[in-house]
Amino acid sequence: MADAEGNVYVYGVASAAERARLPDAGVAGAGVRIVEHDGLAALVSDLDSGTLVAAREVRAHWRVIEAAAASTTVLPVRFATVLAGDRAVVDQLLEPQADRLTELLRSLAGRVQLAVKGEYDEEVLLREIVRETPAVSALRERVSTRPEAASYYDRIRLGELVSGEIGRRRTRDQRMALAAFEGHAESIVANEPRSANGAFDLAFLVSRDKVDAFGAPVRALSEALGDRIRLRYLGPLPPYSFVDEQRAQGAPSWA
Amino acid sequence: MAVGTPSSGYLERPKPSGLADVIEVILDKGLVIDAYVRVSLIGIEILTIDARIVIASVDTYLRFAEAVGRLNLAEADDSQGLPELMESMTSGGAKSKTSGALEAVKEKITGGDDDDDDGDDDEKKTPSRSRRSSGSSSGSSSSRRRKSS
């Protein structure tokens, strides 16, 4: 079935013992199939072209992993990973990393990733910064009383100060958010917020049967944050954030 | 981007994620294999553009300055007096005006679309929106947290 000579796109790795459900089509419309070795199953598609349109294929990649994760535990592989044929999937992924992958599959089985993202209400945040930062309110005053052309550097300085204050608040708010989830997750990854008004972006590894209980700290945090930060609570996701090196180095130190 | 009105139950359980919600995770996370075959990715620089680069720009500083300058501080007074109520009634547009600086940056990154799963809008994220293809966005933007007890 496979053209063993062609390149293959790799979506993720699952246990060969549990049959992952595969969608009809993956990247570039190609079928999705499995390369099996030593109890591990890599989910792959044959790739004819050397060019992928990222916006379309990100979606395809995501759909394949979502579909498979609905029926089994999947270790997602980084987007746009292409190997030189089935042989390379075995020689460069499944064989050399067999122990680690097997252990990861074992430790992540029955667990999902939940995400809690905090987004600032920009107006509330800026008001707070003006109110609490004398340098900002003074400079704001000064800028407002001078013609635009004459205040160019003051405005840059003002924006820089504001930006710095936002950074400080991000640090503080992330710390507060992390504290709210202590004891509720097996592992936590704090990502740098990627959206511009992001306050924090946290990923939690949670046992599937604890997902319902996880709502309690989310709501408590939301109440504590008031209208400053709006929470988005997403999931369950495959454990994207928990498959890299650091996690593989040991069991979570708290639960 | 549209955000639903908070209701008492909206944090009861996690919301199934759309692609827009998980795109950073898909691009940044996952198993990394060393010996991969290089393929060309069209449009990837738009998807990976790092918000921090934009935020550190003079342009952004000026937008923050403008947003801060626009704030009506009288309205911010915490006392819930009548003047304030009237002010907020008559200036209902203030919020949408000031939400510009941060949102504008975000739109450049995700195209601003909440994922609605209708595959046909993918193309709008391709090259014309590219602002920068600087390689500096490839670093890991995450830090790992673990309780140190």
Determine the Cα–Cα distance for residues B60 and B108; give it in Å rounded to an integer. Answer: 13
Q: Is 80 exceeded by the pLDDT of residue B93?
A: no
The answer to the question of residue B16 being in a domain is no
Whether B33 sits inside 8 A of A235 (CB atoms) is no
B chain contacts of residue A64, beta-carbon cutoff 8 Å: none
Q: Quick one: pLDDT at residue A255?
A: 30
Contacts of A235 in chain B (CB under 8 A): 14-17
Say which range, B12-16, B58-62, B112-116, has the weakest mean pLDDT.
B112-116
- The single-letter code of the amino acid at A244 is D
3-state SS, residue A77:
strand
Q: Tell me, what's the pLDDT at A75?
A: 96
Give the mean pLDDT of chain A: 90
B66 and A80 within 8 Å at the Cβ level: the answer is no
Is residue B91 in a domain?
yes
| Among A60-74, A89-103, B32-46, B96-110, the least confident range | B96-110
Give me the residues of A, 22-41, that contact B with CB < 8 A: none
CA atoms of B47 and A171, how far apart (whole Å): 25
**Residues of B with CB below 8 A from A218's CB?**
11
B102 or A139, which is more confident? A139
- Cβ distance A219 to B58 less than 8 Å, yes or no, reads no
**CB within 8 Å of B73: residues ≥ 6 apart:** A127, A130
- Going through B4-146 in order, the beta strands assigned E by DSSP cover 40-42, 142-145
Interface size, chain A vs chain B, as Cβ–Cβ contacts under 8 Å: 269
How much is the ipTM here?
0.76
Residue B82 lies in a domain: yes
How does pLDDT run across A48-92, given as a tens digit for each residue? Answer: 888 888 888 989 999 999 999 988 999 999 988 999 999 999 999
Q: What is the mean pLDDT of residues A87-102?
A: 94
Q: Which helix (H) or strand (E) holds A91?
A: none
| SS3 of residue A37 by DSSP | strand
Residue A138 contacts B, CB cutoff 8 Å: no
- Report the pLDDT value the prediction gives residue B75, as an integer from 0 to 100: 54
pLDDT tens-digit map of B45-65: 655 544 444 446 788 888 889
| pLDDT above 70 (res A199) | yes
Segments forming the whole domain that contains residue B72: 53-95
A114-127: average pLDDT? 94
Nearest CA in chain B to A155: B65
Instruction: Please give the pLDDT value at position A6.
Output: 87
Long-range contacts of B129-134 (CB under 8 A, 24+ apart): B129/B46, B130/B43, B130/B45, B130/B46, B131/B46, B131/B49, B131/B54, B132/B45, B132/B49, B132/B53, B133/B45, B134/B53
Residue B89 lies in a domain: yes
Residues of chain B contacting A215 with CB distance shorter than 8 Å: 11-14
Q: How far is residue A6's CA from residue A110's CA, in Å, rounded to a whole number?
A: 34
* More confident: B43 or A203: A203
CB-nearest partner of B64 from A82, A162, A212: A162
Q: In chain A, where do the E strands start and end?
A: 7-15, 33-37, 40-47, 51-53, 74-76, 82-83, 111-120, 187-191, 198-207, 229-237
- Chain B residues 44-103 within an 8 A CB cutoff of chain A: 44, 46-47, 50-52, 54-56, 58, 60-69, 71, 73, 76, 94-95, 98-99, 101-103
Residue A121 identity (one-letter amino acid): D
| Confidence at residue B125, expressed as pLDDT on a 0 to 100 scale | 35
Domain count along chain B: 1
Distance of alpha carbon A133 from alpha carbon A165, whole angstroms: 8
Residue A142 has pLDDT above 50, yes or no: yes
Q: What is the DSSP string of A139-156?
A: HHHHHHTS-GGGGHHHHH
> B11–A233: do the CB atoms touch at under 8 Å?
yes
Give a yes or no: residue B23 inside a domain: no
**CB contact at 8 A, A158 and A143:** yes
> Residues of B with CB below 8 A from A193's CB?
51
Mean pLDDT is highest, among A116-130, B6-20, B62-76, for A116-130
- How does residue B119 score in pLDDT terms, banded at 50, 70 and 90? very low
pLDDT of residue A88: 94
Q: Using alpha carbons only, give the angle A143, A147, A151 rounded to the nearest 5 degrees.
A: 45
- Per residue in A201-254, pLDDT (tens digit) is 999 999 999 999 999 999 999 999 999 999 999 989 999 999 975 443 333 333
pTM: 0.72
Domain spans in chain A, listed from the N-terminal domain onward: 8-109, 112-254
- Residue A149: band (very low, low, confident or very high) from pLDDT cuts 50, 70, 90: confident
pLDDT of B13: 81
Note the pLDDT of residue B91: 37
Share of chain A above pLDDT 70, in %: 94
